[in-house]
A and B are shown apart, each in its own frame.
Chain A
Amino acid sequence: MSIHQEVFALVESNLQDLNEELEYESLAQIDSNTVVFGTEGGIDSLSLVRLIVELESQVNERFGKSVALADEAAMSSRRSPFRTVGSLVEFIVTRVSPDHA
């Protein structure tokens, strides 16, 4: 499995866990275009905090790399990495790739 696929699976399972509890309609089917957070809908900010906290911890466990997903670059980016499942996966992949300091 590529890093990309692994990260996708991680994001997908976390969104499914959230959804089991909160039943977001938008998360019934999850693919790269699924909206995660933003003006076009998706989860609320409380759920986003939970999602980020879970992902940071699981990425750390899985890849042995401590990543802060809510760092300055992410929070100031004009196109939020938390927009869609696809953008979130891309963002995490760049963080865990060996070239990222």
Chain B
Amino acid sequence: MRNVMLITGTRKGIGKYLADYYAQRDFTVIGCSRGGVGQRQSGYEHYCVDVAEEEAVCNMVQDVVARHGHIDVLINNAGVASMNHLLLTPVSTVEKILGTNVVGTFLMVREVAKAMVRQKSGRIVNFATVATPLKLEGEAIYAASKAAVHSLTETMARELAPYRITVNAVGPTPVATDLIRSVPREKINDLIARQAVKRLGEFRDISNVIDFFIRGESDFVTGQVVYLGGIS
């Protein structure tokens, strides 16, 4: 029986990479994003869903469970950022970031964990960011939203542990994706200078941590947030 993995935010960037990576590794990968995606390799199925919309999330998860019978891994990758001084940040931006990053993560976990509780097993991986521990100027709302994800990860891990579900998070450094395209090069260089290992992150750095979190032997690893690049 192929393991079923649900990944949010698979249209581009890290999500697209993870969808391809795990589809090649014998997972049935179900992805979602607000918009559609082009042709993808076999073993990948796509839903057009905004993770901040409750009804859409519920319908998608129910449909996946009805068709596949189980969901083994949830990767809460969908995220939005906005680089802006707090005095110049409109409330609509704040709501959008909190909606996708916090409400979206919560909703996906709530619905998928219902299936995992029934299975009495499951692996959930959330996405934090080094912007939180680094207290990056210009990323106040993004960092705050991911601080919420950090906290959710720790508490959810405790609430779901009795059902043999683990919840962990990976906190990437900047990776060359759209999310950092609008950030000035100078800012990125300053940020990299604060890492222990001074280079841009790569996709494989992220999948490496996820591989560890989701392997069968990691059933004693939960509530952990692993920041990359030596940030803590």
Binding site for B on A (CB under 8 A): 46, 49-50, 53-54, 56-57, 60, 66, 68
Contact = CB atoms under 8 A, between A and B. Distances in A.
Contacts of A66: 58-59, 62
17 contacts: A46-B162, A46-B163, A49-B117, A49-B163, A50-B117, A50-B163, A53-B114, A53-B117, A53-B118, A56-B114, A57-B65, A57-B114, A57-B118, A66-B58, A66-B59, A66-B62, A68-B58
A56 B65 CA distance: 13
Nearest to B118: A53
Nearest to B162: A46
Interface of B: 58-59, 62, 65, 114, 117-118, 162-163
A68 B59 CA distance: 12
A88 to B, nearest CB: 18
A46 B161 CA distance: 10
Contacts of A60: 62
A57 B65 CA distance: 10
Tell me if A's interface is mostly helix, strand, loop or mixed. Answer: helix
A53 B62 CA distance: 12
A46 B62 CA distance: 22
A46 B165 CA distance: 13
A18 to B, nearest CB: 13
Nearest to B55: A66
A45 B39 CA distance: 45
Contacts of B58: 66, 68
A64 to B, nearest CB: 11
Contacts of B59: 66
A55 to B, nearest CB: 11
Contacts of A68: 58
A66 B162 CA distance: 26
CB-CB nearest 9 A-B residue pairs: A53-B114, A53-B117, A46-B162, A53-B118, A50-B117, A66-B62, A49-B117, A54-B118, A66-B58
A53 B116 CA distance: 10
A57 B118 CA distance: 10
B117 to A, nearest CB: 5
A56 B118 CA distance: 11
Contacts of B163: 46, 49-50
A56 B58 CA distance: 12
B153 to A, nearest CB: 19
Nearest to A70: B110
Contacts of B65: 57
Contacts of A53: 114, 117-118
A46 B118 CA distance: 12
A66 B114 CA distance: 13
Nearest to B117: A53
Contacts of A50: 117-118, 163
B189 to A, nearest CB: 48
Given A53-B117, A66-B62, 18 more contacts: A46-B162, A46-B163, A49-B117, A49-B163, A50-B117, A50-B118, A50-B163, A53-B114, A53-B118, A54-B118, A56-B114, A57-B65, A57-B114, A57-B118, A60-B62, A66-B58, A66-B59, A68-B58
